[in-house]
Amino acid sequence: MEQEVNPKVEELKELGKFGLIKLLGEKFNHHNASSLTDINENAAVIAHGNTDSVISSKLFIENIHFDLTYVPLKHLGYKTITVAVADIIAMNALPKQVIINIAISNRFSLEAVNELTDGMRRCCDRYGIDLAGLDLCSSQTGLTITVTAVGETDDEHLVQRVGAKENELLCVSGDLGAAYTGLVLLEREKKVFEVNPNEQPNLEEFSYLLERQLKPEPRVDIIQNLQKTGITPTSMTNVCDGLASALIHLCKASKVGSVVFENKLPVDMLTFRTLKDMNIVSTTIALNGGEDYELLFTVAQKDYEALKGVENVSVIGYIKEEAAGNQLITNDDRQIELKAQGFGEVKE
């Protein structure tokens, strides 16, 4: 008798983050006309009359998403709000409310819980976000946090990953790679501490890099400044898993290709020098580092002059036809196909 052969089970790492999301999402049916987007967008959009609600939810698990060896609880609280609202902002919407759920073990004191939620409150106060719900439960595995963010916009200003067109300008806010560089520094100092707990790190000169990793800011300012200049991006996404991943996902959704110039990638000088000292190529980190929480978006050519009035935005390339794929033009004028790395990789 022939032995039955089990079908090959595809590993999660082979699927990639977006491949796995697509696979799981295909199990669900669409029932309501008020659901304006599917799971392939940065956030869910739900129609309510003339206003659209934009909703995003994020999960944070100790020792997966954060390491309390070097992450202060107040910074962790602040960062959870930033990360949750980043997807709201990436839809060209402004965050209005958050709902917070915390599962916490008995190793944490009341003081620790207060420190965590004080960080959350600071971010909410800074950006005018209301706490709309809070729930707590016990945990046997440390600290787990979920933050659901709610924002609002209207159909006229709503921006999705879909919408980029050939010859439009490709733009990114802020600078890239600093958050990952800060993480590398923190992990390096953790190893030193494990060998010699009496060794005190001196990281004062790297404060910008550490802040980008530990306490990133949501780019509300970019959305507000674009609105002030009358620019509505044609497409937009959040740079959370690296620029390459964000770009490929945006282009795939819009059915276009792109060209990015290496010499146009915004990398802070401190990021560049620190990576160089560690023998790491800054371009690699700018493209694949992750946790920047910047905005990648496209604008029409006609908006180029107005775009000059928006601070902290760089034009890094342009949109091409889909058949061109996604290409990086290097500093020595070579053309390389862009590929995302790690769990954020985009696959068919």
- What CATH number is attached to the domain comprising 104? 3.30.1330.10
Q: Within its chain, how far is the Cα of 278 from the centroid?
A: 25
Residue-wise pLDDT tens digits, 319-340: 999 999 999 999 999 999 998 8
Choose the final residue of a domain: 125, 153, 181: 153
**Is 278 part of any domain?**
yes
Measured between alpha carbons, how far is 63 from 44 in angstroms, rounded to an integer?
28
Q: Write down the pLDDT at residue 193.
A: 82
How does pLDDT run across 209-237, given as a tens digit for each residue? 999 999 999 999 999 999 999 999 999 99
User: 59 and 200 share a domain?
Assistant: no
Q: What does the alpha-carbon distance between residue 57 and residue 145 come to, in Å, rounded to a whole number?
A: 11
Residue 133 placed within a domain: yes
Cross-sheet strand order for the sheet of 235-239? 235-239, 294-299, 169-173, 313-320, 257-261, 326-329, 335-337
145 shares a domain with 173: no
pLDDT at 13: 65
Residue tagged 């034009």 (tokens): 315
Domain span holding position 143: 41-153
DSSP strand pairing (130-138 vs 257-261): unpaired
**Looking at the structure, do residues 146 and 194 belong to the same domain, yes or no?**
no
- In this prediction, residue 26 has a pLDDT band, given cuts at 50, 70 and 90, of confident
Query: Is residue 75 situated within a structural domain?
Result: yes
Most confident of 9-18, 46-55, 328-337: 328-337
Residue-level pLDDT at 197: 79
265 lies in the same domain as 128? no
Over 70: is that where the pLDDT of 260 sits?
yes
Q: Are 166 and 321 in contact (CB under 8 A)?
A: yes
Domain match, 133 and 219 both: no
Average pLDDT over residues 102-116: 96
Phi/psi at 130 (5° precision): -95, 145
- 4 within a domain of the structure (yes/no): no
Q: Exposed/middle/buried for 46, CB within 10 Å: 0-12, 13-18, 19+?
A: middle
Please check whether residues 191 and 323 belong to one and the same domain.
yes
| Final residue in a domain of this structure, among 153, 179, 212 | 153
- Is residue 12 in some structural domain? no
Judgement on whether residues 192 and 335 belong to the same structural domain of the protein: yes
Pairing state of beta strands 130-138 and 94-104?
parallel
- Distance (Å, whole) CA 108 – CA 137: 13
- 3-class secondary-structure state, position 174: coil
**Phi, psi dihedrals of residue 246, rounded to the nearest 5°:** -60, -45
Domain assignment present for 243: yes
Measured in whole angstroms, the distance separating CA 3 from the mean position of its chain's CA atoms is: 47
Total count of domains within the chain: 2
Tell me the CATH number at 260: 3.90.650.10
pTM, 2 dp = 0.90
Give a yes or no: residue 11 inside a domain: no
For every residue of 77-113, DSSP letters joined together read HHHHHHHHHHHHHTTT-EEEEEEEEEEE-TTS-HHHH
Residue 127 gets the label, from left (phi > 0), alpha (psi -120 to 50) or beta, of: alpha
Residue (of 56, 80, 215, 212) closest to 143 by Cα position: 80
Q: How confident is the model at residue 3 (pLDDT cuts 50, 70, 90)?
A: low
Residue 31 counted as domain residue = no
- In whole angstroms, give the CA distance from residue 161 to residue 42: 8
Tell me: do 182 and 146 sit in the same domain.
no
Q: How confident is the model at residue 201 (pLDDT cuts 50, 70, 90)?
A: confident
Instruction: Kindly report which listed range (61-70, 121-130, 132-141, 190-199) carries the lowest average pLDDT score.
Output: 190-199
Q: Is there a single domain that holds both residue 182 and residue 322?
A: yes
When pLDDT is cut at 50, 70 and 90, the band that residue 10 belongs to is low
Q: Which of 91, 119, 153 lies at the terminal end of a domain, its last residue? A: 153
Q: 1: pLDDT confidence band, cut at 50, 70 and 90?
A: very low
Cα distance between residue 300 and residue 233, in whole Å: 8
212 and 130 in a single domain? The answer is: no
* Residue percentage of the chain with pLDDT more than 70: 93
Q: Are residues 97 and 134 in the same domain?
A: yes
pLDDT of residue 344: 43
Q: Using the predicted structure, report yes or no on whether residue 73 has a pLDDT greater than 50.
A: yes
Same domain, 308 and 197: yes
Evaluate if residue 9 carries a pLDDT over 80: no
